[in-house]
Amino acid sequence: MNPAAPLSDAELTELEQLLDGLPAPLEPLDISALDGYLCGVLLQPHPVPAAQWLRWVGDVEGQALPPGPQAQRLAALAQRRHAELDRAIAQRQWFDPWVFEVDVGAEAQDLSASDLTLPWVAGFAAAMDRFGGLLAMDHPGLLEPLAVLYAGFDPDDLEDADELLAVIETLEPPSNLAEAVEDLVRSVLLLADVSRPLSGGPARRPRLPKRPVANTRHHRR
């Protein structure tokens, strides 16, 4: 198997099951948070070694996973997704974030598009907490895409972020999940323009067409 090959639907389900099956007291990222986390890792201005970012996948406190084939398989699948996202970000190409509809009856009807992307954004924020290189750049080009990503957070969770909150207040929430997913992808690529600029000239700002949410599926929580 090509180590950079995109994960199939079966492998995505397998990875989700491996994460969900980790024993207590481990607290792994869920599958959507993992995807956002990997994007946050890849947006750092200097590459983060796999040994550093993998430790936070299986446990929010960085505890080591029980050794064995399951841990090895989880790491292999996560690194495949990392490679796929790395390629898309480096080439400023569209990618399908792992954002899922929720199939929980009446409760699902009360969830906004921003609610559905929140687990992904929480994973992204976890990467920002663990690896500070991107935010340390203090570049004006970071403000707008970060505001789009963090718009669904409670303002009380964004301490000492007055500029960010001011931009968030000017934003209109996405009208549907496809628009919310497009916002995620565009924001990631705009952040990459700052932390991973294209060689050979100034970074271009991506103008992405509206895309269907190709990997959206009903997901039970």
- The residue among 57 and 115 whose pLDDT is bigger is 57
CB 22 within 8 A of CB 28: yes
SS3 102: strand
Report angle CA 88, 176, 135 to the nearest 5 degrees.
45
Each residue of 143-177: pLDDT tens digit? Answer: 999 999 999 888 877 877 788 888 888 999 898 99
CB 125 within 8 A of CB 133: no
Burial 63-100 (b: 16+ CB within 10 A, else e): eebeeeeebeebbebbbbbbbbbbebbeebeebbbbbb
Q: Measured between alpha carbons, how far is residue 108 from residues 16, 35, 101, 141, 143 in Å?
A: 20, 22, 8, 35, 31
Q: pLDDT confidence of 103, banded at 50, 70, 90?
A: low
Report which secondary-structure segment, H or E, holds 50.
helix 50-54
SS3 122: helix
Query: Token digits for 16?
Result: 């989700």
Q: What domains can you pick out in the chain, each with its CATH number?
A: 9-203 (1.20.120.740)
DSSP letter for 155, please: G
CB 122 within 8 A of CB 182: no
Q: Is 105 exposed, middle or buried (0-12, 13-18, 19+ CB in 10 A)?
A: exposed
- pLDDT the model gives residue 5: 81
Query: Token digits for 178?
Result: 């496809």
216: amino acid identity, one letter? T
Give the C-alpha separation, 86 to 35, whole Å: 12
Each residue of 22-70: pLDDT tens digit? Answer: 999 999 999 999 999 999 999 999 999 999 999 999 999 999 898 899 9
Each residue of 186-221: pLDDT tens digit? Answer: 999 999 999 999 886 544 544 554 444 444 444 433
